[in-house]
Amino acid sequence: MRRLVVKHIHTLATMDDDARELQDAAFVVEGGVIAWIGATAQLPDMYSDAQETLDLRHHVVIPGLVNTHHHMFQNLTRVIAQQHELFDWLRTLYPLWQGLRGEHIYTSARLAMAELMLSGCTTSSDHLYLFPNDVQLEDEIRAAQELGMRFHAARGAMSVGESLGGLPPDSLVEDEAKVLKDMQRVIEQYHDAAHGAMLRVVIAPCAPFNVSQDLMRESAALARSYGVRLHTHLAENVKDIAYSLAVFGQRPGDYAQSIGWVGEDVWHAHCVQLNGDEIGLFARTKTGVCHCPTSNLRLASGIAPVRAMLDAGVRVGLGVDGSASNDGGNLLNEARMAMLLQRAGGDPNALSAREALWAATRGGAAVLGRDDIGALAVGMAADFAAYRLDQATFSGALHDPISALVFCQSAAVDVLVIHGRVVVRDGALLTVDLPQLVRAHNALSLRLVRGEAS
């Protein structure tokens, strides 16, 4: 069993149930799992024969960040529709996305995962809801396996096109029977429910404005028959609310409840426009929320009531959202943005740095249904991020390095470990040739944006 010893950590935020913060800390990893944790001075002699040792005396260490909402393919079409809100932004981009092929999905997923990992992210979900041409969920599963990222592959779908009152063009929607058949296929082929699993499958019809009630209900029943989780978009902006009222005669929360989309196994993205009753519903049913602050700002969707959600007991994680509405994939920056955005209403106590980091780690793990990531404790997966403190970004903030991660300019990770494997060292990603990937990605992006065949 391969052993990794990490020692002399300057400051360690465990994010465990006691929220312990340790100085000159150490922990031992065996077989991808934490076997011991404590002060370096108390490190048992029995662990002296480690195959690998990391000395992190100049680092602040946190559990690996957990990204709970993304559309990785969108990094091919960044900085488009710059002055559009959600619905008009989508209508602008749908025609470009019709040209997506498996090569685009694979390459964009590799690029997105590289971005996330370099920010300190070790686990990500991705919501792939477009399947034109030869696109399959396998295209991004392969990318995750190559880069070594812990991955929740969300098989999305759109089934209601413009001719039926939906938002997307009819050419981008799928037959519902085929969707359900493929959802069942990917669950049976790829979902791993084991402790420490590197790959899980999520069932994720896209949104109320492009999926029928029948597909929402049937996909939920399918997911629950296999014990996998459910994910969709909800209450993202005021037009989203208006659509729900006009088409379903209900606000988004009531609609979600009416089709079986609340519960411990469900999490919704955005929820910017939830009211107090809907927040109470989510709290009672243990329904999770992914907060995407940068995307919500970019699309002028509003400020999600995160403080009210947390106070009510709603489980809240963070997400970068698609890189065509965020234009970036730095999850540490989302923690910073989440903290600042809650304070915009005038209350400096609206969200603390540690609460933001908790949402980015433990909160994300909770909404994904994971009890094996998000904290550094014995028995947990050895996923962690280490940031150098001896750099200009943190100068003047060493009295509180943990808060500095959120308050100061978002830093790049120096060391990243996923399931006990070092995947970033000295700030360099070890599992992909990043310059070559960027060149390939840019070439695909330019052809896609220009409408040229790949």
**Per-10-residue mean pLDDT, the chain, length 454:** 95 98 98 97 93 97 98 98 96 96 98 98 98 98 98 98 95 97 98 98 96 98 98 96 96 97 98 98 98 98 98 98 96 98 96 98 98 98 98 97 97 97 98 98 97 75
- pLDDT for 24 equals 98
Identify whether residues 55 and 111 lie together within a single domain.
no
DSSP 3-state of 25 = strand
Identify whether residues 122 and 256 lie together within a single domain.
yes
User: In terms of pTM, does the model score above 0.85?
Assistant: yes
Identify whether residues 18 and 69 lie together within a single domain.
no
CA distance 390 to 392: 7
Residue 111 within a domain: yes
Q: What is the domain range of residue 126?
A: 65-367
- pLDDT for 43 equals 96
Identify whether residues 197 and 305 lie together within a single domain.
yes
Cβ atoms < 10 Å from Cβ of 392: 9
CA distance 436 to 454: 18
Residue 394 belongs to a domain with what CATH number? 2.30.40.10
- Non-local (6+) Cβ contacts of 24 within 8 A are 8, 9, 10, 39, 40, 41, 57
Answer for the pair 94, 80: CB distance below 8 angstroms, yes or no.
Answer: no
- pLDDT for 453 equals 65
Identify whether residues 142 and 284 lie together within a single domain.
yes
Residue 271 belongs to a domain with what CATH number? 3.20.20.140
Identify whether residues 76 and 38 lie together within a single domain.
no
Identify whether residues 107 and 163 lie together within a single domain.
yes
Q: What is the total count of domains within the chain?
A: 2
What is the DSSP secondary-structure string of 237-282? SHHHHHHHHHHHSS-HHHHHHHTT--STTEEEEE-TT--HHHHHHH
Q: Is 302 left (phi over 0), alpha (psi -120 to 50) or beta?
A: left
Among 367, 386, 411, the domain-final residue is 367
